[in-house]
Amino acid sequence: MASEAKVDPMHQFTIEPLARFELAGYDLSFTNSALWMAIAAALLTLFVAGGMRRQLVPGRWQMMVETFTGFIDGMLEANVGKAGRKYVPYVFSLFMFILFANLLGLLPLGIVGLHPFTFTSHFTVTGVLAVMSFSIVLIVGFWRHGLHFFSLFVPHGTPILMAPFIFIIELFSFMIRPFSLALRLFVAMMAGHVLLKVLSGFVIDGTNAGAGFGLLVGVPSFALMIGISALEILVAGIQAYVFALLTSLYINDAENLH
């Protein structure tokens, strides 16, 4: 009798310690999540370092780095203006770090026994990235405009009687930005990986159940996995772009009060 596939779609998101370490009662263990963060950061560093060689005739690597940098620079100029140029290093690093993180989690390394960990599928990670961007907005906003920054929450032309209510609504909308920014990336990456894991269970169960079920369930599920994997690559890039785009829009609120 064929055995059922024991596929837990949520197991892939389990954070496991690779090297245990405690300090003053706090668990500071080096985990699989931290390992893949370090890999993503190392790849980002190598990517940028490889493109910093100013050759008279740019090589492919240098052109690729310059293309991504120009893309982020153009996005910031369109959304923030000339003042946005000083944020290019941060937004570029944010965009590329998320992009590398998303793509690393899609690599089929399981065939060689290495299971990549998509750390952007954890709200704690995306939350920290969102809080970093939100902190920049607050610091820049109050540094440039002082208490006048609060005028952001009362649009020009608001009737006096409506101002307190509009202020509360706009303030709530502003404060929820880091939550929505982090949630969007977290949900998008988690949902795709869960779906792929569920489909892999269908493939295994269909194959184990015999040739008939394999053709009826396993083959269509496998074909669907290929299509969704291609879609996930697209989603990986889109989510990195959306995160960077919204960050630039929020920075614009701090730089240019309306």
Query: How much is the pLDDT for 1?
Result: 43
Query: How much is the pLDDT for 57?
Result: 67
Residue 2 has pLDDT above 50, yes or no: no
Which of 16-20, 70-74, 185-189, 246-250 is least confident? 16-20
HSE (CB half, 13 Å, CA atoms) of 100?
19
**Which distant-in-sequence residues (6+ apart) come within 8 Å of 217 by Cβ?**
202, 203, 205, 206, 209
Q: Are 189 and 105 within 8 A, CB to CB?
A: yes
| pLDDT confidence bin for 55, thresholds 50/70/90 | low
Which of 45-49, 65-69, 156-160, 174-178 is least confident? 156-160
Residue 29 has pLDDT above 90, yes or no: no
The model's pLDDT over 78-137, given as tens digits with 9 standing for 90+, comes to 999 888 999 999 999 999 999 999 999 888 876 777 788 899 999 999 999 999 999 999
Distance CA 107, CA 141 (A): 40
Residue 41 has pLDDT above 90, yes or no: yes
The model's pLDDT over 152-209, given as tens digits with 9 standing for 90+, comes to 888 777 788 888 888 899 889 999 999 999 999 999 999 888 888 888 887 877 777 7
Decide which of 34 and 206 is more confident.
34
The model's pLDDT over 130-155, given as tens digits with 9 standing for 90+, comes to 999 999 999 999 998 888 888 888 87
- Rounded to two decimals, what is the model's pTM? 0.89
Query: How much is the pLDDT for 56?
Result: 64
Output the CA torsion 176→179→185→186 (10° steps). Answer: -150
Average pLDDT, the chain: 86
* Closest among 14, 4, 10 to 201, alpha carbons compared: 4
